[in-house]
Structure 1
Amino acid sequence: METTQRSLRYMIEKWLLMAPATSARVKRGSHASSDGRRCVCVEACRSTGPFSIYFFRQGDGDWDVLPHGSKRPAMGVV
């Protein structure tokens, strides 16, 4: 089994390659919750103007652009 962790730096570089920017900075972040999840806003500038991307830390330590889904009740098959 291959284990690759997606660091915040890796995810920022990945998304900025999709939308070339001249500069980027972390604009704001949230404090970690009790389960270790947090959110960071990265602002990048390009020729058409600034844009922001939010990155969310998942329960396993990876970062993604989608927030981690909360656990919900589910029915199983017996």
Structure 2
Amino acid sequence: MNTGGTSLHDLVDKWLAPASPMRVHVVAFGHLREGGGPYVHVEVAAANGSRAIFFFRHDDGRWCVFPPRLARHASNRYLLAA
């Protein structure tokens, strides 16, 4: 599994609370679809308002701020080529 410096903790610090004592709250977590990868919705509250973001886990173990691509059936390729 390649984490490549994109652990969930590192990304939350990067996007929501860099060098800040604010507390981060997990609002929701689950899977995108049946058999799909997990996601986490986190939020941080500050004096000037709250910020929230979704993080998605990809097949290689990395957490990213964008969802993984949907897997497509190989047969679709042949239908488009015809």
Higher helix share: 2
Give the Cα–Cα distance (whole angstroms) in 1 for the partners of residues 55 and 7 of structure 2. Answer: 10
More displaced 10-residue stretch of structure 1: 55-64 or 4-13 = 4-13
Deviation of 1:31 (Å): 4.1
**CA shift in 2, pair 1:14/1:74, >3 Å:** farther
TM-score by length of structure 1 reads: 0.71
Residues 50-70 of structure 1, C-alpha deviations (whole Å, 9 max, x = no match): 121100011111101100111
Structure 1, gaps ≥5 residues long: none
CA distance in 1, matches of 2:70, 2:31: 18
For residues 12-57 of structure 1, give each alpha carbon's deviation from its aligned partner in whole angstroms, at most 9, with x where no partner exists: 111122xx5722111110048525x111000101121112110001
1:6 Cα deviation after fit: 1.5
| Cα RMSD, aligned residues only | 2.9
- Larger Rg belongs to: 2
The SS at the match of 2:40 is: strand
Fraction of identical pairs, as percent: 31
Contact kept, 8 Å, 1:21 with 1:45, in 2: the verdict is no
For 1:22, the aligned partner's letter is M
Correspondence for 1:34: 35
